[in-house]
């Protein structure tokens, strides 16, 4: 996913969804679809995670929002005015096992557990050809975009098994075949493998494991930056190559919207998708990744 934080490259972008908009329903809503369902969402303070929470809150779900930013608590407070379900929030560093454990414990304390876990955290930090990545940068990318999901799923799974079932939705990326972000691509390839392999292992325990693979997505400027952003003409050129490839690989020749990303995630999380597991659904305007 590429977000509109990089407005100096993208030019004029829609401002997208801000905290003041959360009381307004999304343009597409299935009323009551998540009534009685508790949903844990990571990366929920902004971007796709916030759009997912927005949709589920307006479909009567109980939501537990997790992010590394303290902003997540203000978002949760706003959602208390929206949903007839419960609302809770926690900050956690999901690049660590301890952070993932604390997230699950906090969700149990707030909502007495969860039925669905949606793991959104991840994203490219740097954009450049692979030979220009320092070893420490490669490790940082893998921690951000693979270990956040790996640790989260490992922490979430026992709760779902113990209660007799549930659903895990991971957010991957079609950038597994993208340019200038090899460590991120490798990380998201790992998320795809995790999803497919765990689906086989978890199905006998009545746990579904699925994923979406977003393409480029328009989003407001981030509250917490992923990385330093491109500096200098060469780095801007490398990042522009990502933008160009993303648009060209879409049959619609455009970026997607937050609602277009949230809709398939929320469908896969719902009981309507009860016979789907192990699948990774590309959501990139025809780019299959």
What the chain holds in terms of domains, given with CATH numbers, is: 7-23+31-283 (3.40.50.720)
Alpha helix ranges (H) inside the chain: 7-10, 47-57, 71-79, 97-111, 135-142, 148-162, 182-202, 232-249, 258-269
Q: Which of 9, 1, 19, 10 is nearest to 223 (CA)?
A: 19
pLDDT over 90 for what percent of the chain? 83
> What's the pLDDT score for residue 221?
75
In DSSP terms, which residues pair with 89 in a beta bridge? 65
Confidence of residue 81 (pLDDT cuts 50, 70, 90): confident
Between the CA of residue 60 and those of 34, 47, 53, 87, 270, what are the distances in Å?
5, 21, 11, 11, 12
User: In the structure encoding, which two tokens stand for residue 118, read together?
Assistant: 């949606």
Confidence of residue 12 (pLDDT cuts 50, 70, 90): very low
> What's the pLDDT score for residue 224?
65
For 232-272, how does the pLDDT look when each residue is reduced to its tens digit (9 = 90+)? 899 999 999 999 999 999 999 999 999 999 999 999 999 99
> What's the pLDDT score for residue 3?
43
- Is 255 designated active site? no
> What's the pLDDT score for residue 119?
98
> What's the pLDDT score for residue 9?
30
pTM, to two decimals? 0.92
Contact assessment for residue 191 and residue 176, using Cβ atoms and an 8 Å cutoff:
no
> Would you list the DSSP string of 200-236?
HHHGGGTEEEEEEEE--B--PPPSS-SS----HHHHH
Distance CA 8, CA 133 (A): 23
> What's the pLDDT score for residue 83?
83
Contact assessment for residue 167 and residue 39, using Cβ atoms and an 8 Å cutoff:
no
Distance CA 182, CA 192 (A): 15
Among the listed ranges 15-19, 59-63, 140-144, 271-275, which one has the minimum average pLDDT value? 15-19
> What's the pLDDT score for residue 18?
54
Q: What is the mean pLDDT of the chain?
A: 91
Q: Which one of 133, 184, 239, 255 is the catalytic residue?
A: 184
Distance CA 222, CA 7 (A): 11
DSSP secondary structure letter of residue 43: S
Q: What are φ and ψ of residue 283, in 5° steps? A: -130, 75
> What's the pLDDT score for residue 82?
83
For 169-206, how does the pLDDT look when each residue is reduced to its tens digit (9 = 90+)? 999 999 999 999 999 999 999 999 999 999 999 999 99
Question: Helix or strand or coil: residue 164?
Answer: coil
For 98-132, how does the pLDDT look when each residue is reduced to its tens digit (9 = 90+)? 999 999 999 999 999 999 999 999 999 999 999 99
Decide if pLDDT at 8 tops 90: no
Distance CA 224, CA 70 (A): 10
User: In the structure encoding, which two tokens stand for residue 49, read together?
Assistant: 């995670």
State the Rg of the chain over Cα.
18
Decide if pLDDT at 155 tops 70: yes
Distance CA 219, CA 126 (A): 18
């Amino acid at each position: 996913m590429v977000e509109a934080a990089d407005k100096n490259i993208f030019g004029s972008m829609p401002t997208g969804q801000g905290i003041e908009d959360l009381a307004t329903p999304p343009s597409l809503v299935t009323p009551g679809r998540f009534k009685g369902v508790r949903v844990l969402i990571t990366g929920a303070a902004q971007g796709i995670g916030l759009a997912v929470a927005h949709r589920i809150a307006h479909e009567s779900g109980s939501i537990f929002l997790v992010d590394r930013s303290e902003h997540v608590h203000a978002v949760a407070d706003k959602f208390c005015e929206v949903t007839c379900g419960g609302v809770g929030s926690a900050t956690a560093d999901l690049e660590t096992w301890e952070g993932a454990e604390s997230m699950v414990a906090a969700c149990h304390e707030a909502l007495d557990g969860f039925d669905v876990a949606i793991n959104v955290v991840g994203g490219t930090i740097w954009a450049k050809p692979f030979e220009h990545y320092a070893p420490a940068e490669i490790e940082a990318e893998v921690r951000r975009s693979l270990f956040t999901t790996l640790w989260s799923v490992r922490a979430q799974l026992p709760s779902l098994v113990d209660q007799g079932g549930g659903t895990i939705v991971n957010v991957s990326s079609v950038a597994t075949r993208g340019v200038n972000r090899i460590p991120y691509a490798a990380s998201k390839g790992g998320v795809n493998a995790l999803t497919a392999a765990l689906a086989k292992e978890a199905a006998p325990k009545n746990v579904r494991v699925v994923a979406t693979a977003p393409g480029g997505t328009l989003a407001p400027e981030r509250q917490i930056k992923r990385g330093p952003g491109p500096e200098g003409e060469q780095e801007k050129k490398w990042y522009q190559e990502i933008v160009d490839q993303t648009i060209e690989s879409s049959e619609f020749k455009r970026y997607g919207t937050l609602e277009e990303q949230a809709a398939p995630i929320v469908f896969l999380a719902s009981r309507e998708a009860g016979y789907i597991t192990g699948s990774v659904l590309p959501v990139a305007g025809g780019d299959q990744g």
